[in-house]
């Protein structure tokens, strides 16, 4: 299970997410971007989080990155930010009027291939977000695991 989580962009959904994360993994390390310092400080008083000065510092510390942003900001962030291949990057878009959360996944690995650890991390994240998701749509997750030997052969 992921233990080092970075959050870029603080929204109304962030507090609910942190409550779920620390309920499931009280020993998690969460790194917040100080883009909204007042909100970050409020969250750090409620939850054991570190506030870092810039995107790069958060990305360097975390194994999973949650980007809370508008669709256009998320697209610019995806194009201009370098992530490690082992990192799982999830874009969370909170739609305040509809009170829904939209999640999209980006991994730095080719063809959106997720490792077993990344899939576990995503399932953990979905579990943490469940209290914030209203029943409006269903989420269906399906994935296929390939044997390691098959992956190595296809890389050659």
DSSP 8-state secondary structure symbol assigned to residue 131: G
Residue 96 neighbours by CB under 8 Å, 6+ apart:
12
Q: Which residue has the higher pLDDT, 131 or 43?
A: 43
For residue range 85-121, list pLDDT tens digits in order: 888 888 776 555 434 444 545 444 444 556 667 667 7
Q: The CATH number of the domain where 109 resides is what?
A: 3.40.50.720
Q: What is the C-alpha separation between 68 and 96, in angstroms, rounded?
A: 13
pLDDT digits (tens, 9 = 90+) for 142-151: 555 555 544 4
Question: What is the pLDDT, as a whole number, of residue 86?
Answer: 80
For the stretch 33-64, pLDDT in tens is: 988 889 999 999 999 999 999 989 999 999 98
Q: For the chain, how many residues are written? A: 156
Q: What are phi and psi of 78, to 5 degrees?
A: -65, -40
Calpha distance 43→143 (Å, rounded): 34
96: tokens are 């305040």
Which of 40, 32, 75, 79 has the alpha carbon at shortest distance from 57? 32
User: Quick one: 133 exposed, middle or buried, by C-beta within 10 A (0-12, 13-18, 19+)?
Assistant: middle
Question: What residue numbers bound the domain in which 105 lies?
Answer: 4-155
- Which of 5, 53, 58 minimizes the C-alpha distance to 27? 5
Please count the structural domains in the chain.
1
CA distances from 69 to 33, 48, 51, 66, 90 (A): 13, 23, 18, 9, 11
């Amino acid at each position: 299970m992921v233990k080092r989580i970075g959050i870029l962009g603080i929204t109304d959904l962030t507090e609910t997410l942190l409550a779920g994360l620390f309920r499931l993994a009280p020993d998690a390390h969460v790194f917040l971007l100080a883009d909204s310092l007042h909100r970050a400080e409020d969250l750090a008083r409620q939850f054991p989080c570190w506030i870092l000065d810039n995107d790069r510092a958060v990305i360097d510390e975390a194994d999973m990155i949650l980007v809370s942003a508008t669709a256009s900001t998320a697209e610019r962030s995806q194009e201009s930010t370098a992530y490690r291949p082992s990192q799982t990057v999830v874009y969370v878009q909170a739609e305040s009027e509809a009170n829904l959360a939209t999640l999209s996944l980006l991994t730095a690995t080719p063809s959106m291939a997720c490792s077993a650890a990344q899939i576990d991390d995503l399932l953990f994240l979905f579990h943490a977000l469940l209290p914030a998701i209203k029943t409006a749509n269903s989420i269906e997750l399906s994935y296929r695991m390939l044997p390691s030997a098959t992956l190595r052969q296809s890389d050659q």
